[in-house]
Amino acid sequence: MARVRLQDVAEHAGVSMKTVSNVVNDYPHVSPATRSQVLASIEALGYRPNATARRLATGRTGTLALAVSDVSLPYFAELASTISRLATSRGYRLLLEQTGESVEAERAVLLGGESGLVDGIIFQPSHIALDDLARYTTATPVVLLGEGDAPEGVDTVMIDNTAAAREVTEHLLRLGRRRVAFVGHEAHGLSATSRQRLNGFETALREAGARVDPALLLATDAISAEAAERAVGAALDGGLRFDAAFCRDDLAALGALSALRRRGVRVPDDVAVTGWDDVTLTRFSNPTLTAVHPDLDHLARSAMDLLEERVGGYRGAGRHVVAPHSISVRESAPSA
C-alpha cells in the first residue's frame, strides 16, 4: 500500500508541491538540480501520481469509451483492437461498453449515469431508434459509427454502405448470377445498416434488369452465423433456389456456407457467396470468402479525429466522414 502523495515528495525533497508537480508533468521551468533532487525523492518514496485527483483538478479524464453491442463478434473485436491501439498512441485509455441486444443499454451509453467518466464516446448503435439518438445527445462528445441517418449535429463515420452493396451485387451479376438472395437482415426491426445494404443490393439488381424477388430476402431472427445457417437451410429445404447469396455480414456468410455445404450445394459453382467486413477469419474459411472490406484504420482514425475536436471544444455542425472500402475477391465469388 504505497500511499505516497505529492506533498510527501515535496517535503522529502524540501521543495513545494508546485515544483514536484512541475517535474512530474515535465514542465520546462525547473532547474536541473531541483529536478534531479525531486526525481530522487520520487524514486525513494515510490511515488505514483494519483490519476483520479489529477482528473478532478484538470477536468479531463484521458479516457474514451467504445460502445458496441458485443466485442465477441469478429468485426467489433477487430474494431476494438484498432481503436484501442489508436487511443493508446494518442494518450487515451479505453473503456469498453457492451450494449448487447438492449435498447436500454444503448440509451445508457448516451445518458451515462455519471458525468466526467470519459472525455468522449465512440458508439456503434445497433438497435436504438433515430429519434432516441437525437433526444439523448448529451454533454459528452459522441461520434457515431456505421449509422446512416444520424441526427443533426452528430458526427458520424462509416463506409458508403449503399455503394459497397451495389458493387458487390454487380460483382455477383458479372458472374452471370441472376437469382441473388440477400441473407441476414433482421426479420423484425430492420437496422439502418441492413437497410442501406438492402438498398444498394436492390438498386444494382434493378439497374441490371434483374428481378428483385421478395422470396429471396432471407431475414434472420438474430445477427449471427447460427441464425443465418438456419435461415438459409430452411430456404433450401423449402425448395428455394438461387445462384448467389449476398450476406449482410461475414458471420451470416459463414452460416450460409455451412448450410449450403451440408446440403451438398457447391460454392461457388452452384451458389456464389459474399460477406461483409472482411474479418481476418474469412481468409481461412473453406472456401475463402469474397467480402466488402472497410478501411478500418481510416475509419478509426477519422472517428478519433472528430472526437478529439469535440473534446477540444468544437461545437459546430455534425460532420459525416465516409471511409473508403474495397471488395476482397476470393474463392466464394471469384472474378468473372
Partner DNA sequence: TTGAAAGCGCTAACAG
Partner DNA sequence: CTGTTAGCGCTTTCAA
Whether the CB-CB separation of 243 and 179 falls below 8 Å is answered with yes
Size of the site for its own copies (CB under 8 A): 56
Among 31, 72, 89, 335, binds its own copies (CB under 8 A): 72
CB contact set of 83 (below 8 Å; sequence gap of 6+)? 66, 94, 122, 300, 303, 304
Cell matching residue 174: 458479372
- Asked if 21 interacts with DNA (CB under 7 A), we say yes
Nearer CB in complex with DNA: 18/241: 18
CA 112 from chain center: how many Å?
A: 19
Dist. CA 151–CA 136, nearest whole Å: 10
Q: Of residues 21, 34, 84, 328, which one binds its own copies by CB under 8 A?
A: 84
By beta-carbon proximity to its own copies, the closer residue of 97 and 106 is: 97
Looking up cell 437482415 gives: 185
Pairing of strands 155-159, 142-145: parallel
Say which entry of DNA, its own copies, none residue 213 contacts (CB below 5 to 8 A, set by partner kind).
none
Question: Residue 261, interface with its own copies (CB under 8 A)?
Answer: yes
- The residue range among 13-21, 193-201, 217-225, 315-323 that interacts with DNA, by the rule CB under 7 A, is 13-21
> For 136-290, where are the alpha helices, taking DSSP H only?
161-174, 192-207, 225-237, 250-262
**Residue 263 binding its own copies, by CB under 8 A:** no
Confirm or reject binding of residue 124 to DNA (CB under 7 A). no
Shortest distance, position 109 Cβ to its own copies, whole Å: 12
Q: Kind and range of the H or E element at 30? A: none
- Does position 91 bind DNA by CB under 7 A? no
Closest CA to 276 of 249, 313, 237: 249
Q: Which three cell numbers stand for residue 178?
A: 441472376
One-letter amino acid at 319 equals R
Our finding on whether 88 is near its own copies (CB under 8 A) is: yes
**Residue 50 is a binding residue for DNA (CB under 7 A):** yes
The answer to whether 268 contacts its own copies (rule: CB under 8 A) is: no
Closest approach, Cβ 96 to DNA, in A, equals: 24
List of residues contacting DNA (CB under 7 A): 3, 5-7, 14-19, 21-22, 24-25, 28-31, 33-35, 47, 49-50, 53-54, 56-59, 116
